[in-house]
Amino acid sequence: MLNITYLDSETKKLTPNISIKQISEIKQNKENIIWADVTNPNEEDFLKLAEEFSFHQLSIEDALKGHQRPKIEEYPGYYFLVVYESDLFGEHNNLQLRELSIFLGANFIVTVHSHSINAITLVSRLWPEWLSRSSVGTGTLAYLLLDAIVDHYMVILDQLSDNIDDLEDKMFTDFQPNLIEEIFRVKKQLLYMRRFISPLRDLLNVMLRREQPLFSSETYVYFQDVFDHAIRVADTIDSLRDILSSIMDVYLSISGNRMNIIMKRLTSISTILMSVTLIAGIYGMNFDFMPELKWRYGYTYALSSMVIIGLCLYLYLRKIKWL
């Protein structure tokens, strides 16, 4: 699916759903802005679009194949960016990462993706509101896209932070063995997010170096804002990972303490039973005063001894808090 929109530099009017054939005429005016959004790119249509903007073959290949690491590459006249949008879905808040490729030039931006991107929907709604600003170029569109993606990471982190708070509560109120699985699952999600947010900081660093003068100086201020947000996201991820590591240590400590308590109780019960069994064993070796033969109080004597010794051991073990 191909959706091409252009902004007329003179009238500040947006015209959606133009055809690829109209691009050549529109881009003759360097002040016009073209945004082409490509969903599930068909190779033939995408190659026609790439030919209009003179994209390098390597960047075309990366956009079509997908599964690229987050990165930025500089080509003559444009940047090629790969970023990932994150989201949580399902009952267990599983993490989903959706790839977005961006061709970013001075007067055009081409977004390529195989899955629905929430940031694109949001920016499509926000772009008309930004038309009143003094400088509205592709840098502004790139800022809105990157800012929406980075800010949504914070929303995800807020949800994961709530999950971590719930884990802490369960740790001390309703300790369950399967908590360790939940801890590892959340920690794995944070690890994946860290893997995709760290390159984003490097990506923005490249754009802030201003070695390729594609955007106005006003636009770089916005990129700096996104860069600050990316640093904040990375710091929050590190903080949550530290908290999870502490929770895991507490879990192992509580689990060890519970095991010690169980071992103490089992040892106490074994001690009482061994003492009672000792009396039974010694009395069982008696052949002169068998209860059934000569001494009718034998059972009473043996059982009373067992009860007294068992009770004394029980009271002692309760006193030292082993039972």
pLDDT recorded at residue 291 = 59
pLDDT recorded at residue 66 = 82
pLDDT recorded at residue 37 = 92
**Which has the higher per-residue pLDDT, 319 or 216?**
319
In this structure, are residues 156 and 86 in contact, taking their beta carbons and an 8 Å threshold?
A: yes
Judge whether residue 238 has pLDDT over 80: yes
Average pLDDT, the chain: 85
Quote the CA–CA distance of 131 and 152 in Å, as a whole number: 24
Q: Where in the chain is CATH 1.20.58.340?
A: 261-319
Judge whether residue 84 has pLDDT over 80: yes
Phi, psi of 90 (to 5 degrees): 85, 170
- The span from the first CA to the last CA of the chain, in angstroms, equals 71
> Mean pLDDT, to the nearest integer, of 14-30?
84
> Mean pLDDT, to the nearest integer, of 304-323?
86
Phi, psi of 10 (to 5 degrees): -85, -50
Q: What is the enclosing helix (H) or strand (E) of 232? A: helix 217-284
Tell me what percent of the residues of the chain surpass a pLDDT of 70: 93
SS3 186: helix
Quote the CA–CA distance of 266 and 279 in Å, as a whole number: 20
Tens of pLDDT along 249-290? Answer: 888 888 888 888 888 888 888 988 898 888 888 777 766 666
Tell me what percent of the residues of the chain surpass a pLDDT of 90: 24
- Residue 182, number of CB atoms within 10 A of its CB: 17
Which positions ≥6 away from 28 have C-beta within 8 Å?
Answer: none
In this structure, are residues 110 and 53 in contact, taking their beta carbons and an 8 Å threshold?
A: yes
Tens of pLDDT along 98-148? Answer: 999 999 988 899 999 998 899 999 998 888 887 766 566 788 888 899 999
- What CATH fold (topology level) applies to the domain 261-319? Methane Monooxygenase Hydroxylase; Chain G, domain 1 (1.20.58)
Judge whether residue 1 has pLDDT over 70: yes
Q: What burial letters (b/e) apply to 106-123, b meaning 16+ CB within 10 Å? A: bbbbbbbbeeebebbebb
**Which has the higher per-residue pLDDT, 1 or 151?**
151
Judge whether residue 232 has pLDDT over 90: yes
**Which has the higher per-residue pLDDT, 306 or 292?**
306
Quote the longest CA-to-CA distance of the chain: 123
Q: Where in the chain is CATH 3.30.460.20?
A: 2-254
Phi, psi of 130 (to 5 degrees): -90, 0
pLDDT recorded at residue 109 = 92
- What CATH fold (topology level) applies to the domain 2-254? Beta Polymerase; domain 2 (3.30.460)
Judge whether residue 175 has pLDDT over 80: no
